[in-house]
């Protein structure tokens, strides 16, 4: 079989670089279609639909128990779906054993073989595929260079740092040029600095070789830094899949708004729909104008949402009639270096937090009164999902 046929990735040249633009780039490499998973009578994944394009880096982000790992394991063939289909490069693989799926796996605990050297660990998937020794040596050299592990091939895992061990795990997953790489919290066991560093390495490696990656994390910074698109999961349901900026700016419901970035979300009711939507917000006096109405059904319950950086704090009520405003007082402030987090309570009892530069901390002593104001274009009316 040719390199291209075997791998689904482009034939690499020296240094692991893909040889020219990939004609298949942008086609769907992974597709989940209506996938459900039940454990007994408990649903773990519900109607999961997702297409990952070739060369794309997609992250499943969500709290513990939201169904991220189960979805990944179904794609890898380590778990069977209760209903639905999964496709790899256009072929249904739902009934294929894991070895037939040509998927690379990287987990949090590296799962290196302790009694094997780095080179032997990396060679393992090639041995399983009965690759000729000379070809295997070439492939191993290629991924050692790619993961900056040249010179470490004769060491045992215990003689390596956590970051180096994780690079071996990556090299072992890359060496047989899988059609897709699945990574489940691969940086989770590393300390903060190393994790930030490995994050950059992982991203540049993925971009260099054009790998298709489906990644799982509950760390939103990691998801933002790495992903072309992020799918937010909650209680087994994929809530929204979008590029990071779109997810931040245009969340589909209050769960997504709360899970990604800071947000102020307050229960609200729509009272009018016209040029602006008008809502009544719990803990705020009067009517609030909202430009961005997600058209949620009112029975489901709604929420008013705004990002704290879109709120302005001032001593006086703003003049502009079209600006929303609420009077509030400071409950407390938390010093965070360049900024302080000011905890506020509106006169009607809503609690919220905004950031202001630390230079202004004397103006926001506990008990002082201020006016909050914001433009209708900066706030949303969203479906409530807790
Ligand atoms: N083998 C199993 N048997 C029974 N229930 C399971 C099994 N594996 C997972 N579950 C349940 O399925 C749900 C989804 O689990 P899953 O591991 O996919 O979540 P997750 O989002 O990856 O969580 P985490 O971030 O903690 O790994 C959870 O409620 C979990 O308890």
Output the residue whose Cα is nearest ligand 1's atom 10: 44
Question: Is the CB of residue 242 less than 8 Å from the CB of residue 52?
Answer: no
Output the residue whose Cα is nearest ligand 1's atom 11: 44
Output the residue whose Cα is nearest ligand 1's atom 16: 67
Q: List the one residue out of 220, 108, 222 whose CA is nearest residue 170.
A: 108
Q: CA–CA separation, 176 vs 39, rounded Å?
A: 33
199 ligand 1 Cβ < 6 A: no
Q: CA–CA separation, 190 vs 163, rounded Å?
A: 7
Q: What is the pLDDT of residue 131?
A: 86
Q: What is the pLDDT of residue 379?
A: 95
Sign of CA dihedral 197, 203, 206, 207: negative
Q: 20: exposed, middle or buried (C-beta count within 10 Å: 0-12, 13-18, 19+)?
A: exposed
Q: What is the pLDDT of residue 318?
A: 83
Pairing label, strands 369-374, 312-314: antiparallel
Q: What is the largest CA-CA distance in the chain?
A: 78
Atom of ligand 1 nearest to the CA of 66: 21
Cα 354 to averaged position of ligand 1 atoms, centre (Å):
35
Q: What is the pLDDT of residue 286?
A: 86
Pairing label, strands 180-184, 103-107: parallel
Q: pLDDT (tens digit, 0 to 9) for every residue of the chain, 386 residues total?
A: 333 333 333 333 333 334 455 566 668 999 999 999 999 989 999 999 999 999 999 999 999 999 999 999 999 999 999 999 999 999 999 999 888 888 988 887 768 899 999 999 999 989 888 888 888 899 899 889 888 889 999 999 999 988 889 889 988 988 888 889 999 998 887 778 878 888 888 888 888 888 899 999 999 999 999 999 999 999 999 999 999 999 999 999 999 999 998 999 999 999 888 878 899 999 998 889 999 887 776 666 799 999 999 999 998 888 777 789 999 999 999 999 999 999 999 999 999 999 999 999 999 999 999 999 999 999 999 999 98
Cα 241 to averaged position of ligand 1 atoms, centre (Å):
20
Q: Give the torsion through C-alpha atoms of 1, 24, 141, 110, to 10 deg.
A: -110
Question: Is the CB of residue 193 less than 8 Å from the CB of residue 200?
Answer: no
Q: What is the pLDDT of residue 26?
A: 66
Q: What is the pLDDT of residue 33?
A: 97
217 ligand 1 Cβ < 6 A: no
Domains of the chain as residue ranges with CATH = 3-249 (3.40.50.300), 254-383 (2.40.50.100)
64 ligand 1 Cβ < 6 A: yes
91 DSSP assignment: E
Q: List the one residue out of 90, 82, 86, 110 whose CA is nearest residue 98.
A: 86
Atom of ligand 1 nearest to the CA of 218: 25
Q: What is the pLDDT of residue 48?
A: 98
Q: What is the pLDDT of residue 110?
A: 65
pTM to 2 decimals?
Answer: 0.85
Q: Which spans in 129-191 are helix H?
A: 133-146, 162-174
For ligand 1, pick from 36, 62, 68 the residue to mutate: most ligand atoms within 8 Å of CB. 68
68 ligand 1 Cβ < 6 A: yes
Q: What is the pLDDT of residue 2?
A: 34
Q: List the one residue out of 210, 208, 179 whose CA is nearest residue 3.
A: 179
User: Which tokens go with 19?
Assistant: 């040889």
């Amino acid at each position: 079989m040719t390199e291209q046929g075997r791998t689904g990735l482009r034939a690499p040249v020296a240094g692991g670089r893909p040889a020219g633009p990939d004609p298949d780039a942008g086609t769907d490499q992974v597709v989940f279609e209506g996938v459900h998973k039940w454990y007994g009578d408990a649903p773990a994944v519900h109607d999961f639909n997702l297409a990952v394009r070739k060369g794309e880096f997609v992250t499943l982000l969500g709290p513990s128990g939201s169904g991220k790992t189960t979805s990944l394991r179904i794609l890898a063939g380590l778990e069977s779906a209760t209903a639905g289909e999964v496709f790899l490069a256009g072929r249904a693989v739902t009934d294929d054993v894991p070895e037939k799926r040509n998927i690379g796996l990287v987990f949090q605990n590296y799962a290196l073989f302790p009694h094997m050297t780095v080179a032997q660990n990396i060679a393992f998937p090639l041995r399983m595929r009965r690759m000729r020794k000379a070809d295997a040596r070439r492939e191993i050299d290629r991924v050692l260079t790619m993961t900056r592990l040249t010179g470490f091939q004769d060491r045992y895992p215990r003689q390596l740092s956590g970051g180096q061990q994780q690079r071996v795990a990556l090299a072992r997953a890359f060496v047989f040029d899988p059609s897709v790489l699945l990574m489940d919290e691969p940086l989770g066991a590393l300390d903060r600095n190393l994790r930030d560093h490995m994050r950059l390495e992982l991203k540049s490696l993925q971009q260099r070789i054009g790998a298709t990656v489906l990644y799982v994390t509950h760390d939103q910074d990691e998801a933002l830094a790495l992903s072309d698109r992020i799918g937010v999961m909650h209680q087994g349901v994929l809530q929204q899949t979008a590029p990071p900026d779109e997810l931040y700016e245009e969340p589909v419901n209050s769960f997504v708004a709360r899970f990604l970035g800071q947000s102020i979300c307050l229960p609200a009711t729509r009272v009018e729909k016209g040029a602006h939507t008008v809502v009544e917000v719990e803990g705020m006096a009067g009517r609030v104008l909202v430009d961005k109405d997600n058209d949620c059904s009112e029975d489901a319950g709604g929420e008013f949402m705004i990002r704290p950086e879109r709120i302005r704090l001032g001593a006086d009520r703003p003049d502009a009639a079209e600006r929303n405003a609420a009077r509030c007082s400071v409950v407390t402030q938390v010093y965070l270096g360049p900024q302080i987090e000011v905890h506020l309570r509106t006169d009607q009892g809503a609690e919220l937090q905004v950031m202001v530069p630390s230079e202004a901390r004397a103006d926001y002593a506990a008990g002082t009164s201020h006016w909050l104001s914001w433009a209708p274009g900066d706030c949303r009316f969203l479906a409530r999902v807790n």
